[in-house]
Amino acid sequence: MKRWLSGLIVGMCAHLAVSPAFAQNADPADIRACTGIESDAQRLACYDRATGRNQMPAAKKRIEPTSTPSSNVFSQNRSVAEVTSTGGNSAAPLSLLDSRWELSPESKLGTFNLRGYKPIYVLPAFATSNQNNLPYSPNPENAAHTPLGMQDVESKFQISLKTKLWQGVFGDVGDLWVGYTQDSYWQVYNSKLSRPFRETDYEPEAMLVFDTHYQIFGWDGRLLSIGVNHQSNGQSDPLSRSWNRVMGQIGFEIRPWWRIPEQAADDNNPNISNYMGRADMQIIHEWHGQEFGLMLRDSLRGGSEQHGAGRFTWSFPLVGNLRGYMELFKGYGESMIDYNHNATYLGAGISLLDWY
């Protein structure tokens, strides 16, 4: 077996065929119950139990890399890269991007199935080296002049869901998805200010997602999407922050975007693209049940307009479906109110749903 150290997201999952002898003894109701499980490893275990495969003698399975780096999913050492099985008469492998976006025909689940989008987590402790107590913007209407009195340690939680609205746009080509992500920052330990929510960022979006099949430098391109994204913190001036973007995405999870212009008088944050960036890249690697994530973001400009950020996350099993979650962020734009504020943040808590 060969392991793959992290690389750009391309999506993977090895195909596992169930022999007819065991499939015919499966309880269809049990199998249908397995489809609602988000975790790939837990869903596979559910199928094994439903079909009796967990009673079979251990079989040797050999996975070899294609031109794309790969990993051994059967030892729960998974990365987002294409793999293929060389033994038996297995069908073409599905990918992890299929599990997120239902790209191939065999992975389609229809419309209005509510699913996880980004990780869902709660961080009781979320601390920063430099709390932003005087948020400002080049727009004078959006600059605070009185310190907010916020503490360096707070809590944070994220909720993120998506669903498919239309399957088979333009015939059988493309699916229309909508997603919603909410990040809340709660000054739960700040009794002096009655424990307020310092910031809540709302991010609805719509995405037209296409299944693609091409190669670049040996990497398999599996996804192409175009969408519209809105992000705001729902506050009034001088703390109001918002922007709208047209976002592209390819199968490597590299997302460039273009900000939709606003009237100067109505723009709460005129220079936000120079801080929150014009593109980001998400790298995910799963190893022995643990999931590691790295986000890199940059303004794609030089000189005084060059700013960026990075976020490293780590989730690991605790009990049942409950997982531990840690997050380290450095740079600009950890939240909308902090879009032009540079700080380091460290949080620890629990995760209910990861990327994969």
pLDDT(72) > 50: no
Is residue 93 within 8 A of residue 23, CB to CB? The reply is: no
Q: Nearest-CA neighbor of 281 among 294, 268, 291? A: 294
Inform me whether the pLDDT recorded for 54 exceeds 80.
Answer: no
Task: Specify the fold of 115-353.
Answer: Outer membrane phospholipase (ompla); Chain C (2.40.230)
Give the model's pLDDT for residue 252.
Answer: 62
Least confident of 39-43, 144-148, 149-153, 238-242: 39-43
| pLDDT at res. 93 | 54
- State the chain's mean pLDDT as an integer: 79
29 contacts: CB under 8 Å, gap ≥ 6: none
Dihedral class, residue 303 (left if φ above 0, else alpha if ψ from -120 to 50, else beta): left
Least confident range from 7-21, 37-51, 135-149: namely 7-21
What integer is the mean pLDDT of 111-117? 93
Q: What are phi and psi of 260, to 5 degrees?
A: -75, 120
pLDDT the model gives residue 325: 97
pLDDT at residue 76 tops 70: no
CATH 2.40.230.10 domain extents, the chain: 115-353
Q: Is the pLDDT of residue 226 over 60?
A: yes
**314-353: pLDDT as tens digits:** 999 999 889 999 999 999 999 999 999 999 999 999 999 8
Give the tens place of pLDDT for each residue, 229-242: 999 999 999 999 99
Lowest mean pLDDT among 86-90, 242-246, 282-286: 86-90
Question: Known catalytic residues?
Answer: 230, 232
